[in-house]
C-alpha cells in the first residue's frame, strides 16, 4: 500500500511536549553559575550622549561587569537590512528605551540595583513623533543621512489618461496604527563559552543564521567562534527577526568568560521590541461605468520609528501590493519609510500588506456600491487570472487562484445577505448586522532579492535518515511540513525522518522564517536534497534487484521493481549495501526562486516567483448603544498551492482571523504610553467567531508538490472584511483602525445627527 504523507493531517512535531508543558523555551533553560543581564535604557526620546557613569554600579558587590559602547570589541552597529542601530548608544539615543549600558550580576536583585546606580548625562534634542514633521525641510536629523529611510515608486501605464477615461473616481485617506506583536514568550536566551572558547547562544529567534551574521562583527571574531542555536520559540510574527537579547548575551559571555542569561520582562519587551508600521495611505481609484478598474494612484507614508529594521521591505511591499489582486492598467505609487523618535518598527506578519489591504479593499467596496454591483461580482470583473500583468509588469503564468477563492465564498455571502435582508430594518434589539468581503494577494519570499534556502540529508548504514535545515519553527509548523516533504519524496513513513534544525554549526542557512517562505522555498530545498538521496539509493536498489533504475520504486520504506512488487528490499538494507562502516549517503538541496530587482524609478520587475491569494466574508453585529463590533461568522478561502498538512493550514487561518480581529477592532500601541497588556487589548476566545476555513489548491509548478504558503496571507483579508461589514451594518465607512468602541459610537452618532 502506498505511503502518502503530503496532504495528510500528521501530528505536529513537538506538539505533545507543548500541550503538556514539557517544552523548554529560552527562559526555561537552566545554566550553572549564570550571570543575570540587565540593560540601562534611555529615558529620553532623542538626545546626545555626553557621559555614562558606571563606577557606582560596578562597585556593587555581586556585579561582574558594567559595559558601555567603549567595551564592544568590534563594530557597535547592526541591522537586518540597513545597519543603523547601535548595540549600546555611543553618541545619540533615538527613542525612549534605546540601550545605553549593560549590567552583568550574580542575581536579578543585584542587577536591578546596579541599573539604579548608573547615571547618564544625555542632552535632549528636539524629538519628532509624526512622519509629516520628520519630512519637513527644517526638521532636525534623526540620522545623519536624513529622516527619509527609503522611497519606493511603482509606475505603469498612463495614470493621467487612466483617470481621464474613468467614469467614477474615489479618493480617500486611510490610517493604520502601531501594533505590538503580543507573542506569548518574551525575548530570552542564554550564552556561554564552550570548551574550545566558542561563544554559544541559545535564543528565541526567527533566523539564527542572520543573528550569527550580525553578531560576528560585533564581537570581532571568526565565524566559527560563534554558534547560535534556536530554542523552542513561543511565537514571533516577525518580531523575533530583529535581534534583541542576542548582542548582550554574546558580549557578556565573550568578555566575562562566564555563562549568562537574559529574559525581558513584559514591560521591557513592550518598550524595546519592534512594532508594526503605522501607515498613512492616500488612495485614488478610477473605474469605468461597466465596472472595470482603469487607474489607481497612491501615496503611502510609513512611520519606521527610530531605526530602519524592515522599513524598506514594508515600504516596498505596500507599494507592490497597493492595487490588490486586480487588473489595473494605469498605476502610480509612491511609498516612503520615514524615521521618527517613536519605537522602532520592523517586520510584523505581512510586511505592510495588511495595512494596504485596508485601503484597496475599502476602495473596491466603495466603487462597487456606487456602480450598483455586489462586491463579489465587482471583484470578479477585475481579479487576476493566468496571463494578467501586475503593477510591476510581471506576467502571472500559473497558480493564480484569486477567482476560485471568490467563487468559494460567494454562497456564504449570499446566505449572510439573505439573513440580514430578512429583517428590513436590519436591527435586532438595537444591534445592526452587516456582511463584508475582502480579498488579498501576497508575494511569497523576499521582494526582488535573492532568496535562497539550502538543506542536507544523510542516510547511515542502518537506514536512519537525518534532515538538516536552518529553518526556524516558531510555532507555525515548518518542522512538520519539511519532514512531510522529505518523507513523501523518499517514500518513507513520516516517523522515519530525524530532524536537526536551526543551529548555525550543524545546519546551513535556510533564510528567515518570514514572508511565508519556508514551505515554498525551504520545502523545495528539502525536496531537492531528498531527490538526490533517492537517486543514489534507487541506483543501489536497482543493482540488488537486477533491474534498470527507472523501474525501481520505493514506498512504505521498501524498494521494489514496479512490475513485480512481491520482490522487495527494505530501505535500510539498500542503505547498508556496499557502504563501509561509518559511511553515510548524503544529499544537498538548494532553491532560490526566480526574481528580479525592481527598477528604482518605475518599480518594474519580478519581485516574487509566486503569490498566495485569498478571499474572506464576515458577518458582524454592531451594538448601537456601546459601539461594540462582534464578528459572528467568518469564511476564509485560501489558495495555498498544495496543503502539505491541511491541519496546519487551517491552524494558520484560525490564527490569522484572530490577529486580524485584533488589528481591525482592538489593538493600538501608543509610543511612550503603552507599557503592558493591562492597557494593550488583544482578542480573547470570547471574541472569536465561528470560522469556516476553505483550502483551495491551485498548484505552483516550482513549489514542493505544488505548495506555496499561508502564514501571512491568513491574516490579511480579515480586518478589511470586518470594516466593510461595519459599513454594511451602519452605512458609515471606517478610514482609521482600530474600529474600537469610541470610533464606532462616534460614527453612529454622526449618522444620527449627534
Tell me the sheet residues that pair with 333: 154, 298
* CA pair distance 557, 487, nearest whole angstrom: 10
C-alpha dihedral (743, 748, 753, 754), degrees to nearest 10 = -50
Q: Tens of pLDDT along 606-630?
A: 999 999 999 999 999 999 899 999 9
For residue 118, what are the CA distances in angstroms to 38, 420, 495?
12, 63, 54
H helices of 597-678, in order, are: 646-661
Per-residue confidence band for 376, with pLDDT thresholds at 50, 70 and 90: very high
Predicted pLDDT at 429:
72
390 phi and psi, to 5 degrees? -80, 170
Tell me the fold of 15-22+452-591. Answer: Aldehyde Oxidoreductase; domain 4 (3.30.365)
Q: What percent of the chain has pLDDT over 90?
A: 95
Residues 171 and 735: beta-carbon distance below 8 Å = no
Per-residue confidence band for 583, with pLDDT thresholds at 50, 70 and 90: confident
For residue 54, what are the CA distances in angstroms to 108, 514, 632, 650?
18, 39, 56, 52
For residue 128, what are the CA distances in angstroms to 52, 272, 338?
24, 18, 11
Q: Looking at domain 279-384+402-447+598-751, which CATH architecture does it have?
A: 2-Layer Sandwich (3.30)
pTM: 0.97
* CA pair distance 385, 444, nearest whole angstrom: 17
Its sign, for the CA torsion 554, 559, 562, 567, is negative
Sequence-distant (6+) residues with CB within 8 A of 540 are 574, 575, 577, 578
Tell me the fold of 31-125+182-272. Answer: Aldehyde Oxidoreductase; domain 3 (3.90.1170)
Tell me the sheet residues that pair with 263: 188
Predicted pLDDT at 427:
62
Predicted pLDDT at 426:
62
3-state DSSP assignment of residue 472: coil
Predicted pLDDT at 563:
82
The CATH 3.30.365.10 domain(s) of the chain lie at 15-22+452-591, 279-384+402-447+598-751
Predicted pLDDT at 424:
64
Closest CA to 153 of 405, 279, 336: 336
Asked if pLDDT for residue 581 goes beyond 80, the answer is no
Q: Tens of pLDDT along 279-312?
A: 999 999 999 999 999 999 999 999 999 999 999 9
Closest CA to 233 of 308, 180, 181: 181
The CATH 3.90.1170.50 domain(s) of the chain lie at 31-125+182-272
Q: What is the mean pLDDT of residues 468-484?
A: 97
Asked if pLDDT for residue 425 goes beyond 70, the answer is no
H helices of 372-446, in order, are: 375-382, 402-421
Predicted pLDDT at 750:
79
Strands annotated E in 551-610: 552-555, 558-561, 569-570, 584-591
Q: What percent of the chain has pLDDT over 70?
A: 98
3-state DSSP assignment of residue 727: helix
For helices 375-382 and 402-421, what crossing angle results, to 10°?
A: 170
For residue 53, what are the CA distances in angstroms to 66, 112, 273, 544?
10, 16, 26, 75
Q: Tens of pLDDT along 130-166?
A: 999 999 999 999 999 999 999 999 999 999 999 999 9
Amino acid at each position: 500500500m502506498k505511503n502518502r504523507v503530503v496532504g495528510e493531517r500528521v501530528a505536529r512535531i513537538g506538539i505533545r511536549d507543548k500541550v503538556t508543558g514539557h517544552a523548554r523555551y529560552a527562559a526555561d533553560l537552566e545554566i550553572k553559575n549564570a550571570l543575570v543581564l540587565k540593560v540601562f535604557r534611555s529615558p529620553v526620546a532623542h538626545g546626545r550622549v555626553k557621559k555614562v557613569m558606571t563606577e557606582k554600579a560596578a562597585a556593587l558587590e555581586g556585579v561582574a561587569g558594567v559595559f558601555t559602547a567603549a567595551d564592544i570589541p568590534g563594530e557597535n552597529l547592526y541591522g537586518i537590512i540597513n545597519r543603523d542601530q547601535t548595540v549600546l548608544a555611543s553618541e545619540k539615543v533615538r527613542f525612549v528605551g534605546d540601550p545605553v549600558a549593560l549590567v552583568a550580576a550574580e542575581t536579578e536583585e543585584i542587577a536591578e540595583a546596579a541599573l539604579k546606580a548608573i547615571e547618564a548625562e544625555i542632552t535632549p534634542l528636539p524629538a519628532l513623533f509624526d512622519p509629516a514633521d520628520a519630512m519637513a525641510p527644517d526638521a532636525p536629523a534623526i540620522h545623519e543621512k536624513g529622516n527619509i529611510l527609503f522611497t519606493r515608486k511603482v509606475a505603469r501605464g498612463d495614470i493621467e489618461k487612466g483617470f481621464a477615461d474613468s467614469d467614477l473616481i474615489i479618493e480617500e485617506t486611510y490610517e493604520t496604527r502601531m501594533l505590538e506583536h503580543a507573542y506569548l514568550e518574551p525575548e530570552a536566551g542564554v550564552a556561554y563559552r564552550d570548551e574550545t572558547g566558542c561563544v554559544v547562544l541559545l535564543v528565541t529567534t526567527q533566523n539564527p543564521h542572520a543573528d550569527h551574521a550580525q553578531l560576528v562583527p560585533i564581537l570581532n571574531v571568526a565565524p566559527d567562534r560563534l554558534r547560535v542555536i534556536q530554542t523552542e520559540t513561543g511565537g514571533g510574527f516577525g518580531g523575533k527577526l530583529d535581534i534583541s537579547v542576542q548582542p548582550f548575551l554574546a558580549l557578556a559571555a565573550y568578555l566575562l568568560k562566564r555563562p549568562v542569561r537574559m529574559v525581558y520582562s513584559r514591560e521591557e519587551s513592550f518598550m524595546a521590541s519592534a512594532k508594526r508600521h503605522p501607515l498613512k495611505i492616500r488612495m485614488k481609484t478610477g473605474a469605468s461605468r461597466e465596472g472595470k478598474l482603469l487607474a489607481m494612484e497612491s501615496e503611502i507614508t510609513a512611520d519606521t520609528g527610530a531605526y530602519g529594521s524592515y522599513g524598506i521591505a514594508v515600504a516596498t511591499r505596500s507599494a507592490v501590493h497597493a492595487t490588490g489582486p486586480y487588473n489595473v492598467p494605469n498605476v502610480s505609487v509612491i511609498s516612503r519609510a520615514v524615521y521618527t523618535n517613536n519605537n522602532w518598527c520592523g517586520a510584523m506578519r505581512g510586511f505592510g500588506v495588511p495595512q494596504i489591504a485596508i485601503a484597496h479593499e475599502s476602495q473596491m467596496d466603495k466603487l462597487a456600491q456606487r456602480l450598483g454591483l455586489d462586491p463579489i461580482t465587482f471583484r470578479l470583473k477585475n481579479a487576476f487570472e493566468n496571463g494578467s500583468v501586475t503593477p510591476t509588469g510581471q506576467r502571472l503564468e500559473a497558480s493564480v487562484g484569486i477567482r476560485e477563492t471568490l467563487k468559494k465564498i460567494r454562497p456564504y455571502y449570499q446566505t449572510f445577505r439573505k439573513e440580514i435582508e430578512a429583517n428590513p430594518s436590519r436591527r435586532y434589539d438595537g444591534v445592526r448586522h452587516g456582511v463584508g468581503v475582502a480579498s488579498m494577494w501576497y508575494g511569497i519570499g523576499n521582494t526582488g532579492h535573492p532568496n535562497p534556502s539550502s538543506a542536507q540529508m544523510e542516510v547511515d548504514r542502518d537506514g536512519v535518515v537525518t534532515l538538516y535545515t536552518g529553518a526556524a519553527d516558531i510555532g507555525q509548523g515548518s518542522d512538520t511540513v519539511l519532514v512531510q516533504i522529505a518523507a513523501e519524496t523518499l517514500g518513507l513513513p513520516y516517523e522515519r525522518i530525524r530532524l536537526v534544525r536551526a543551529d548555525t554549526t550543524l545546519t546551513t542557512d535556510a533564510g528567515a522564517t518570514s514572508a511565508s517562505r519556508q514551505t515554498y522555498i525551504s520545502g523545495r530545498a528539502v525536496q531537492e536534497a531528498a531527490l538526490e538521496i533517492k537517486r543514489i539509493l534507487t541506483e543501489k536498489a536497482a543493482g540488488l534487484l537486477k533491474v534498470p533504475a527507472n523501474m525501481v520504486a520505493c514506498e512504505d520504506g521498501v524498494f521494489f521493481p514496479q512490475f513485480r512488487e512481491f520482490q522487495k528490499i527494505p530501505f535500510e538494507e539498500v542503505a547498508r549495501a556496499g557502504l563501509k562502516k561509518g559511511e553515510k549517503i548524503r544529499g544537498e538541496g538548494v532553491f532560490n526562486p526566480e526574481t528580479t530587482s525592481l527598477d528604482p524609478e518605475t518599480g518594474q520587475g519580478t519581485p516574487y516567483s509566486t503569490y498566495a491569494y485569498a478571499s474572506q466574508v464576515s458577518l458582524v453585529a454592531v451594538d448601537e448603544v456601546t459601539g461594540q463590533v462582534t464578528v459572528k461568522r467568518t469564511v476564509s478561502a485560501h489558495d495555498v498551492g498544495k496543503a502539505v498538512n491541511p491541519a496546519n493550514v487551517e491552524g494558520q487561518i484560525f490564527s490569522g482571523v484572530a490577529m486580524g480581529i485584533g488589528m481591525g477592532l482592538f489593538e493600538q500601541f501608543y509610543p511612550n504610553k503603552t507599557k503592558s497588556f493591562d492597557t494593550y487589548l488583544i482578542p480573547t476566545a470570547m471574541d472569536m467567531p465561528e470560522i469556516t476555513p476553505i483550502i483551495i489548491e491551485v498548484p505552483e509548478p516550482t513549489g514542493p508538490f505544488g505548495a506555496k504558503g499561508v502564514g501571512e496571507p491568513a491574516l490579511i483579508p480579515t480586518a478589511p472584511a470586518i470594516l466593510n461589514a461595519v459599513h454594511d451594518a451602519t452605512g458609515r465607512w471606517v478610514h482609521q483602525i482600530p474600529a474600537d468602541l469610541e470610533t464606532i459610537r462616534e460614527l453612529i452618532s454622526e449618522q444620527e445627527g449627534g
